[in-house]
Structures are given as C-alpha cells and as structure tokens.
Amino acid sequence: MNADSIEVIDDDVTRVLRAKSGAERLRIASGMYASARRTLLASLAADPPDWDPRQVSEDAARRLPHGAR
C-alpha cells in the first residue's frame, strides 16, 4: 500500500463500531495505539541493537502521531 491509498472500512465493521458508545470506541482506539507502540518499540529495540531505552522511546515518539513517551 502506498501513501496515496485510502483504506475503506468494511460495512460489518462500521455497523459494529457505530453500535458502540463513544467511550468504547476510544478504548478500542487507545488499545490499538498501545499495541502499535509496543510493536514499534520492540522493532526499534532490535535495530539498531546498541540504542538505549531512552533512544528507542524517543524514536518511537517521533514516528507515532502525537507520540507519547
């Protein structure tokens, strides 16, 4: 997928998400962000292997929108 493509949410997923409260949708989004951050941190910790945890966290924060450390 390139940067110019747009992903479309499946109609079934749309129905499920619309049935959820705003708080439930925020909880889902927060969990997805946390999962993406954990995956990114693990990847960054492995390459380059000589980075300390602070460098890994700073690079992850730079790469993720509104990066939290």
Confidence of residue 1 (pLDDT cuts 50, 70, 90): low
Domain boundaries, the chain: 32-69
CA distance 37 to 54: 14
pTM over 0.75? The answer is no
The answer, yes or no, to whether the previous bond of 48 is cis (omega within 30 of 0) is yes
Alpha helix segments (H runs only) across 1-69:
11-19, 22-46, 53-63
Q: Does the pLDDT value for residue 62 go beyond 80?
A: yes
7-49 per-position pLDDT tens digit: 888 999 999 999 999 999 999 999 999 999 899 989 888 877 7
Is residue 66 over pLDDT 70? no
> Would you call 17 helix, strand, or coil by DSSP?
helix
The two structure tokens encoding residue 15: 């129905």
